[in-house]
Structure 1
């Protein structure tokens, strides 16, 4: 027994050294860059410039285990996409909807599915289009969309068809989109209900804000995979693997669901989100 204890005592410094070596390798040389633009409750920029919201909260919860911190420079939405896909200034791009074109440029990690929904404003007895084809055929209706937002390949095809008919107004943010719908300058948008809910938090009561809108799912427009793109070139493969594993673990533990529950009412999440 004494010999065994001596053997174990001898292993102690070696095991401790290995733990320190692993921790040292796990530390990042710099903060991982995640450019963000205000996206409802998903990403909020406070008056003092601090960033919070569903996805910043999730990433910050991973920092101790990852050994890396995250930096969240605030940029316009088009600049966010440019920094990641074109200029190589960003390590992560989120929240991001998956498209075939983006998959050719970076590694996608799905987190949930959101349901792009036809949304109109105001009381009406007129039946809403129930399919993509019926919406395209209603040529008197104009759409408003947020620049660089996408909800998958089918959404992109629908948007191109509407643009060919000169029926699309493009705005910079959700607040402007909501204002145009309320003013009757356009007849509809297509958004996941969670994002519309975020856009409506403008000082009016939640009940009043939501009751004036009508929602219709469109056949031919499936749920969109939403998650994060990881750059294949701006940070090392080991850190990328570690980050992917930690995000997958957080999803399996329900951490994203818990964080979203702090920002969104349960009924809004139920109407929109499919958990992976």
Structure 2
């Protein structure tokens, strides 16, 4: 009788353990749906003539969704509106954002690539530019930039100097900046290798530009930006762990190589 009672108790315990499994999974925090704001910028996110929007940022968000079972709803927005909405708590997240002390007050960052800005300067047959300072020294040359972009301490300081001289024009996105170069309304722009390929191709600028590596600053770190107001820390941890796995198993570099040369892709890894 004693043995029977023990066996029965073990069966009951096993049954209760099995039944408790769904509850354990149900206790996993629901992840989403979260609105993720994309913006058009070179190989990061651009419209393909055949398949719609593609790019590094899209592939990374898709892979994070697959690994974490989070649900993301994509929207296309300007950078100015993205940062405004994140700051006032009306947007869940965005991609490839650069960390600053101000932005860290309202967003958590998951870093996934690093890059440096180059100065892309139109050829001028009578005068040449071979450095950032030589561009500044040409008083008639104008710079086009994307409003709200951060370029690194040295470059941003130079931009402020040019603004004081009235030589900077700001636009909503990089596509418009490249267009201004193509029609001669600007003489230079800043861009990263990850960004300039499709921009230059679409605006037929390939043979008209010099590419100057003008920054001595450390590489800029870019990350997914998650609203502190709207996304709980446990979800941030889940996404951060998945990104770390993607870096370790080579998936992150493989995504970069879909759109960029292998040497640039490798140098992007944080």
**Structure 2-normalised TM-score?**
0.83
**What's 1:256 paired with?**
252
**Range 52-61 or range 159-168, more displaced:** 52-61
Unmatched runs of 5 consecutive residues or more in structure 1: none
Q: Determine helix, strand or coil for the equivalent of 2:27.
A: helix
Taking a change above 3 Å as real, the CA distance of residues 145 and 170 of structure 1, as seen in their structure-2 partners, is: same
Name the residue aligned to 1:80. Answer: 82
Kindly report which structure 2 residues correspond to 1:138-153, keeping only aligned pairs within 5 A, or say none: 138-153=138-153
Report SS of the residue matched to 1:234.
Answer: coil
- Confirm whether residue 160 of structure 1 aligns to residue 148 of structure 2: no
Contact 1:152 1:225 in 2 (8 A): no
Unaligned 5+ segments in structure 2 are 1-6
Partner of 1:173: 173
After superposition, residues 196-235 of structure 1 pair within 5 angstroms as 196-202=196-202, 209-235=205-231
CA–CA distance in structure 1, aligned partners of residues 191 and 254 of structure 2:
22
Distance 2:249 2:39 in 1: 27
What is the CA–CA distance in structure 2 between the aligned matches of 1:16 and 1:195, rounded to whole Å? 51
Mapping of 1:1-276 within 5 angstroms?
13=15, 16-17=18-19, 19-26=21-28, 28=30, 30-45=32-47, 51-86=53-88, 88-122=89-123, 124=125, 126-130=127-131, 132-202=132-202, 209-266=205-262, 269=265, 273-276=267-270
CA RMSD of aligned residues (A): 3.3
Match of 2:3 in 1: none
How far apart, in 2, do the equivalents of 1:172 and 1:124 lie? 30
Query: Aligned with 1:71: secondary structure?
Result: strand
Q: Which has the larger radius of gyration?
A: 2
8 A contact 1:129–1:218 mirrored in 2: no
Alpha-carbon shift at residue 111 of structure 1 (Å): 1.3
Give the Cα–Cα distance (whole angstroms) in 2 for the partners of residues 166 and 212 of structure 1.
Answer: 24
Deviation at 1:118, TM superposition (A): 0.9
